[in-house]
Structures are given as C-alpha cells and as structure tokens.
Amino acid sequence: MSATDERDGLPETLDLATRVRRRVLPTLHRIKEPLGGFAQCTQHPDEYVGTVQRGLCEFRSDLEAMSFAPEPIASLKVHEDGRLSAGSWVRRRSPLARRQLHVALFQTSVENIEVFAHREYSWLRHPYRHYTGQGWDSSGGVERMRSLLSDHGVSFRIE
C-alpha cells in the first residue's frame, strides 16, 4: 500500500488508518449495501466548515491541539466530486461521552484542505443511534468547528 493515493493525484502523505479505510471500506460497502447497511457515504455539502490553507500533516497537528483524535471506525466519506476523504477525526469530552464532533478532511491541493463537520451520538456509547444517524446535527457541528478553528488561530475561508 503506497503512502499516497493515486486517485487524488496529490503527493501528501495519508495516515495508515486513512489508507486502510480507502482500500477496505468500498468493498465492505458493496457487501453491506444490499442488506441496508453502509460503510461509505457521500459527504453532505451542508457540513462544509471552510477551507484551511495548510498541508495535511500540519493540519493534523492543529486537530490534535484542539483535542481531536483520528477516527478509523468512521464510514468513508466521498466528496460530491468523487474525492475520498483524507482523514476522519473526532472530538469527545471523554471516551464515554454521549455525543461527539466528527470532522472529515478533503484535500483540494497540497496546501488546501476542505473541512466538513457534524455533531452526532458517539458510536462508543450509542452504537445504534450513531449508525442510524439519530441526533445528527450538521449546523451545530459546523458552528462548533468554525469556533474551534478561530479559537486556535487557524484561519479558513468559506467558498
């Protein structure tokens, strides 16, 4: 498995969890979909937070400073233009928190990342509610993520 994904045509290094998710989840999705399940989904445009002018590695450090952790269990997000997510991150008050802030990243270039966010039930505490999308809050997630970016001095533009 290469460190980059040729489908994006970008030389930026993807983390191992993202590379594995990109390889495994489309196949898992084809198995689950006829049974009414999913392992990948189209990223909803209402969850667009903004575009940050940072490399992927640099922005990962920003997310860690904001108390986010990589989320390897999340479904694979597919941008409406066909790009695959370049990372999935989650922020919880504690491991057993009821809700979480989930962020998906999409590279537009080596130095630009589109950020998408939503609030949802944590899969650790409420796996069924999480999987069925109960309590999904796009606007609350976008608002909270924009606030976190601003509070941490990470500028972003809304396109």
What is the chain's pLDDT, residue by residue, as a tens digit (159 residues)?
333 444 555 545 777 777 777 777 767 657 766 766 655 788 999 999 999 999 999 999 999 999 999 988 888 898 999 998 999 999 999 989 999 999 999 999 989 999 999 999 998 898 888 788 888 999 999 999 999 999 999 999 998
Whether 2 is in a domain gets the answer no
Phi-psi region of 36 (alpha: psi -120 to 50; beta: other; left: phi over 0): left
* pTM score, whole prediction: 0.84
Whether 7 is in a domain gets the answer no
Structural domain count of the chain: 1
CATH code of the domain containing 48: 3.30.310
Strand partners of residue 120: 100
